[in-house]
Amino acid sequence: MLILVRHGQTAANARGLLLGRADPPLTETGCRQARALAAALPRAARIVSSPLMRARQTSAVLAGAAPAAADAAGVEVDPRWIEMDYGDLDGRPATALGEQSWRMWRQDPDFVPAGGESVAAVCTRVRQACVDLADDAARGDVIVVSHVSPIKAAVTWALGVGDEVAWRMFLADAAVCRIDTAGPVPLLLAFNDSGPVNGDDRASR
């Protein structure tokens, strides 16, 4: 199983700011979320993480270490799982981008915000990362700790749909997605599952 985990909360997430390549740590709430994930998720054959601190801290807890041990043994760092580069928008509210630009961004996967990265570019790198993990995930659980945009990109890969579909998804802090890669095509089994951090098995839709 390919298990995709969004990192725990950061202060920027809590404030509703766009958070791309900026590198803040988890909040205390984020650390609690990581511990809840570690208690609920299966032991994985591999744990892969984005290189950003918030993902590495979450991964460290999943690997049995403390959040401060961001470089925990047994965690592989793959830069293809890094968050989208928001460029000049990083750390700013979504309202910092005008309505017309937002419309263009949602309609055109190749749209690049100033100094940033397109949705299409994120999908290209993440789809290859998914392909590279698919065989191992078919034989055992592989956990990837990443961010909103790369996880959405992985879901477009699983569903075989266009890049623009990423804008039609919502993913909460510390939410889990599961993709079965054992068959002839990937199967999305769960999306935005907040059960592990809420103490139940319900999946948000």
Q: For residue 202, is pLDDT > 80?
A: no
Whole-angstrom distance, CA of residue 52 vs CA of residue 83: 8
Whole-angstrom distance, CA of residue 179 vs CA of residue 138: 10
Mean pLDDT of 21-31: 96
Least confident of 1-10, 67-76, 138-147, 176-185: 67-76
Q: 106, 135 in Cβ contact below 8 A?
A: no
Residues 6+ apart with CB under 8 A from 117: 84, 85, 86, 87
* The pLDDT of residue 66: 73
Whole-angstrom distance, CA of residue 100 vs CA of residue 85: 20
Q: 18, 86 in Cβ contact below 8 A?
A: yes
Cα 111 to chain centroid distance, Å, stands at 21
Which has more confidence, 153 or 67? 153
* The pLDDT of residue 203: 36
SS3 58: helix
Mean pLDDT of 180-201: 89
Whole-angstrom distance, CA of residue 151 vs CA of residue 177: 8
Percent of the chain with pLDDT over 90: 85
Percent of the chain with pLDDT over 70: 95
Tell me how far apart the terminal alpha carbons of the chain are, to the nearest angstrom.
Answer: 20
2: tokens are: 């390919």
pLDDT tens digits along 37-66: 999 999 999 999 999 999 999 999 999 887
Task: Give the model's confidence band at 204: pLDDT under 50 very low, under 70 low, under 90 confident, else very high.
Answer: very low
* The pLDDT of residue 68: 65
pTM of the model: 0.93
Q: 6, 172 in Cβ contact below 8 A?
A: yes
Q: What are phi and psi of 82, to 5 degrees?
A: -70, 155
Task: Give the model's confidence band at 205: pLDDT under 50 very low, under 70 low, under 90 confident, else very high.
Answer: very low
Name the H helices within the chain.
11-14, 28-40, 53-62, 99-107, 119-139, 148-159, 195-198
* The pLDDT of residue 201: 44
Using alpha carbons only, give the angle 129, 22, 67 rounded to the nearest 5 degrees: 75
Architecture of domain 2-198 in this structure:
3-Layer(aba) Sandwich (3.40)
pLDDT tens digits along 89-141: 999 998 888 888 889 999 999 999 999 999 999 999 999 999 999 999 999 99
Mean pLDDT of all residues belonging to the chain: 93
Whole-angstrom distance, CA of residue 40 vs CA of residue 62: 10
